[in-house]
Chains A and B, each alone.
Chain A
Amino acid sequence: MNYNLNYLFLGLFFLAALVVPLLPIVLARFVAPKKPGRVKNSPYECGTEGEGDAWVQFRIQYYLFAILFVVFDVEALFLFPWAVVFKEMGLQGLAAMGVFLGVLAVGLVYAWQAGALEWE
């Protein structure tokens, strides 16, 4: 029962928390001046006229990092439940997690040696 109440509370909290950012935004709509202009509303580019669009494709170097992240973040999903019952499971639990983490560590070493962690 208490369990469900907690989540009811979080739901209510979400609705109430929306007021905190919305109230000043709405208030500012009435208080703040509004004088738009063509130059004023153009995207900021250090004072010079804008060159091209920001929404273009460009190569981001984060691709390999993102893949590594997915691997290690999924691992966190298994890690937390394991950590809670770790003491009861004893050496057997340690061995199981050791093998699992070991495989991941080998993956990290491989990515490192392959140069995936270097910033080009």
Chain B
Amino acid sequence: MFNMILKIGVILALAPVGMMYLTWAERKVIARIQDRVGPNRVGLYGLLQPLADGIKMLTKEDLVPEGADRLCHFLAPILIVVPALFLFTVLPFGPGLVAAPLTTGILFFVAIGSTQTLAIFMAGWGSRNKFSLLGAVRNAAQLIAYEVPLVLSLAVVPMVVGSLNLTEIVEAQRAGIFLFTPWGLTGFLLILITGLAEVNRTPFDLPEAESEIVAGFHTEYSGMKFALFYMAEFLSTLAISALGATLFMGGWLGPEIIPGWLWVALKTFLLVFVMIWIRGTWPRFRIDQLMGLAWKVLLPLSLANLAGTAAWVLIPGWQGTLLSLGLSLGTFLVTTQLWLAPRPHLPRQWVKSLDEEVNIWESK
């Protein structure tokens, strides 16, 4: 019993601290990419900045728009943070250093993670604001589109290991981490891309695209509730990076110069850094590109990876490798129907408005 309370205490204390310093790290890295210094006034290297931000958020007025669904509006930030914290219960940080060693680890992670869509939709609907609702609808579409390739590419790991338990998956990588196998590399890249989309980070941040729909689903949130949405986003970013590090980069395994949990932290931070780097360098997708990427590129790719992994596991040696390559190439070609070459086209209404624009210019 005491053991349980200790575990709960550690997760609930460390996760928010990790999130606070992630905001600091993100601002610093983005600042460097944009040739700025970043926060440097509050404390040494601006290290107390997250604390100052917290105090500021706490003293801001909490606005609820008129006519809003008050219950939905109030519950949404709570229901988005709680699942984000739950993600950390199944992640192992060392041999035995896991809060809940569920036999259904991966499935639990995906299931809990996808409930955040509901909270986001509650926020969008409850605000009774057009921008919020648009953001929420976009979010729902994006998450269901990227959920499919995410789940399909996660399934290759239990195929090889024969278990959904994250601790056993790490132990299975003692002989060699999965990142250095062809199927592992493909799966890892797929999960990195779909993970970015699942946590709404650039270039998939359409649900909160500032230049289009103000702030998306959290337009009508201020003060602490606004901060909670950010908290959930950063916690999910940390969790999905930790999942990638666990499944493909061997979790706590590594030269034993430093303790295992530090390896997990280092690998997680490496992935988080890549995510921040992507945010600092790439522009946002257009909505038709976003849906197209999920259904026409990532889904066939993850199906092909699944087929390739199956051959890789069943048949050892070079025959297996060859068959695996052939099978995945075949699956990809069949599902994308490249020989029929369906041409992607701009949405009709946009083509029309582009034509009108040309006409305006020609008439001048």
Contacts and interface: CB of A to CB of B under 8 A. Distances in A.
B291 A117 contact: yes
Interface string B29-59: 0000000000000000000000000000111
Chain A: number of interface residues, binned into ranges? 35 or more
Interface in B125-182: 125, 127-133, 137, 140-141, 144-145, 147-148, 151-152, 155-156, 158-159, 162-164
Contacts of B220: 43-44
B224 A20 contact: no
A85 B313 CA distance: 12
B225 A25 contact: yes
Contacts of B145: 65, 69
Contacts, number: 221
A97 B102 CA distance: 25
Contacts of A108: 295, 299-300, 335
Interface residues of B, number: 91
A102 to B, nearest CB: 9
Contacts of B158: 80, 83-84, 86
A73 B147 contact: yes
4 smallest CB-CB distances across A and B, nearest first, come from: A119-B288, A83-B158, A69-B144, A28-B224
24 contacts: A12-B5, A12-B8, A17-B81, A20-B16, A21-B78, A24-B224, A24-B227, A24-B228, A25-B78, A32-B58, A33-B59, A44-B220, A45-B130, A62-B140, A69-B148, A73-B144, A79-B151, A84-B163, A86-B158, A86-B310, A87-B159, A101-B303, A105-B335, A117-B291
Interface of A: 3, 6, 8-10, 12-14, 16-22, 24-25, 27-29, 31-36, 38, 40-46, 53-55, 60, 62, 65-66, 68-69, 72-73, 76, 79-80, 83-88, 90-91, 94, 97-98, 101, 105, 108-109, 112-113, 117-120
